[in-house]
């Protein structure tokens, strides 16, 4: 009997230590934009410069661009004469940012019936939990491959406009749809940060960069293509 109890305790201990917490930081909040009109800088990207394996997404101060950092390489996008310009430096401040450092990723196949944003959200929750990640805390993820489509925007907010809506954010700057593009997607899943760094109706916040580095920005909607690969942080025992 004692031996059985010890075995049971060891199993419980292993399961509890297997559930890894990934350190995720954030500054600013979507609710600040929508209800308070506060678009001011809350974080300097220079704080992330020189750190290993940094991944981050967010919005530039005054909502004048989108922030993407992939493995320490910035691809900050903003509008200039109606076109999207990519800045590969850390010389920006963020009104909203979510960031993490992940040194090792594990590849996860995406089921063929996981195509839409809502299906992806449901699958992410299960896949992360099954692989020992604590889904009660934010979970960063990557997706690589060719999407069916991505609806995207790069925000370019008019400072004279004091009424914020999601539709206005999308339409304020360059936006559109790209189809069958080879992309790298960075996202954060969280069931506890709606209206903070995910929208009030979603547990996902995702940005993208095309593999040829010609376009990057915020993902409004998407459909996944076949043979895309999900990457989750490697859980630590």
Per DSSP, the three-state class of 151 is strand
Q: State the pLDDT at residue 15.
A: 33
Q: What is the pLDDT of residues 99-121, one digit of tens each?
A: 999 999 999 999 999 999 999 99
pLDDT at residue number 20: 56
> DSSP for 6-73?
HHHHHHHHHHHHHSBPPPEEEES-HHIIIII------EEGGGGTT-TTEEEEEEEGGG--EEEEETTE
Residue 237: the pLDDT is: 56
Q: What is the pTM of this model?
A: 0.90
**Domains present along the chain, CATH in parentheses:** 22-233 (3.30.1330.80)
Cα end-to-end distance, the chain, whole Å: 28
For residue 235, the model assigns a pLDDT of: 75
Which pLDDT belongs to residue 13?
34
Query: Which residues of the chain fall short of a pLDDT of 70?
Result: 1-21, 236-237
């Amino acid at each position: 009997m004692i031996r059985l109890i010890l075995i049971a305790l060891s199993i419980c201990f292993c399961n509890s230590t297997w559930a890894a917490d990934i350190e995720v930081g954030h500054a600013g909040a979507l609710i600040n934009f929508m209800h308070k009109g506060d678009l001011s800088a809350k974080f300097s990207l220079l704080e992330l410069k020189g750190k290993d394996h940094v991944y981050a997404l967010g919005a530039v101060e005054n909502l004048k661009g989108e922030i993407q950092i992939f493995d320490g390489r910035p691809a900050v996008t903003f509008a200039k004469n109606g076109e999207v310009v990519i800045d590969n430096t850390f010389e920006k401040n963020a009104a909203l940012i979510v960031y993490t450092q992940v040194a090792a990723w594990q590849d996860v196949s995406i089921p063929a019936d996981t195509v839409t944003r809502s299906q992806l959200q449901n699958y992410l929750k299960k896949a992360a939990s099954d692989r020992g990640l604590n889904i009660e805390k934010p979970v960063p993820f990557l997706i690589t491959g060719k999407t069916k489509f991505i609806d995207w925007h790069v925000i370019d907010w008019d400072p004279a406009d004091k009424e914020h809506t999601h539709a206005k954010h999308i339409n304020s700057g360059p936006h559109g749809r790209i189809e069958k593009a080879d992309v790298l997607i960075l996202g954060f899943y969280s069931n506890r940060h709606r209206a903070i760094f995910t929208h009030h109706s979603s547990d996902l916040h995702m940005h993208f960069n095309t593999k040829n580095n010609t376009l990057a920005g915020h993902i409004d909607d998407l459909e996944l293509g076949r043979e895309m690969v999900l990457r989750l942080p490697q859980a630590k025992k």
